Amino acid sequence: MDKFFKVSVIVLLAVISGSGCYQLRRANTPMPAQLYCRALDYQLTNPQDCPRAADVMIMLPGIGDSVTRFEQEGLIDQLRAANLPLDALVADAHFGYYRSRTVQARLRQDVLAPAINAGYHKLHFAGVSLGGFGSLIYWRDNAQGRPASMTLLTPYLGDPEYYQYKLDPSTEPQQREAEKNLWPWLDTSSVAERGVWYLGLARSDKFYVPGRALGDMLPAANVIEVDGQHNWHAWRLMWPQLLQALQRDFYPQEPKP
């Protein structure tokens, strides 16, 4: 495991569980995904059996989460309650794909391309923790195939030396050429593209400080803060509010729940 990924997995696991124990999983091809079909009350459904919604929410999990975790923790039920014209497609984008540097290719070929071929019009991303980081790097590196929007729930935003200059103007940016340093690109991203990014922050989260720095770059109405830490309790608090922001900008005609 190279230095970046070794540090990243240690930091993320320390935040999530206080433990360094994590079983690395194989990055299989194709990347598995699970479809929750709106027309069937968001039941887990075989793709061929789902009368498709107009659009789809592609959901990326955190570092230690299984592909079923969004359902287990109630975020699929919250999406149902939001009454948006969206199916939910949960990609099994676990840490093994990041470690092997195949996460973007597998998402593009195994998740996004089939969704487009199935007839979805708009593809939205939503990612928690490492999944938020994955959403950002996908947006950065796939200018011709970006999703319509990106919802980030307490995203991992890299090592502290990457963003220290945002916190202390007397310091110089570090490791600007590092592949996993998002901040040089974030600084050059356009106001228009940041206008369809939605960010959830938890005030007691260890990633709150860099998250707040990112939030200062977004429209204020696109940033939701809740009390809590880096966990599913906080994500359940912010997710409905983030979905409301998405509805405001993309689906204002839909009746509010």
The SS3 call for residue 155 is: coil
User: What confidence tier does 3 reach under pLDDT thresholds 50, 70, 90?
Assistant: very low
Tokens read off for 69:
């975790």
Q: What CATH architecture is 3-250?
A: 3-Layer(aba) Sandwich (3.40)
d(CA 27, CA 23): 13
* pLDDT for the residue numbered 64: 86
Which residues does residue 65 pair with via DSSP β-bridges, in sequence order?
none
Tokens read off for 34:
């699970």
Which residues does residue 33 pair with via DSSP β-bridges, in sequence order?
91
Tell whether the model's pLDDT for residue 176 goes beyond 70.
yes
* pLDDT for the residue numbered 170: 86
* pLDDT for the residue numbered 7: 43
Tell whether the model's pLDDT for residue 135 goes beyond 70.
yes
* pLDDT for the residue numbered 188: 95
Q: Helical H runs in the chain? A: 3-17, 69-72, 75-82, 95-99, 103-106, 113-117, 130-141, 160-167, 183-188, 191-194, 208-215, 232-250
| pLDDT tens digits along 231-244 | 999 999 999 999 99
Average per-residue pLDDT for the chain: 91
| pLDDT tens digits along 8-24 | 544 454 444 444 445 68
74 sits in the region (left: phi over 0; alpha: psi -120 to 50; else beta) called: left
d(CA 195, CA 190): 9
d(CA 176, CA 182): 9
Tell whether the model's pLDDT for residue 107 goes beyond 80.
yes
| pLDDT tens digits along 183-233 | 999 999 999 999 999 999 999 999 999 999 999 999 999 999 999 999 999
DSSP code of residue 253: T
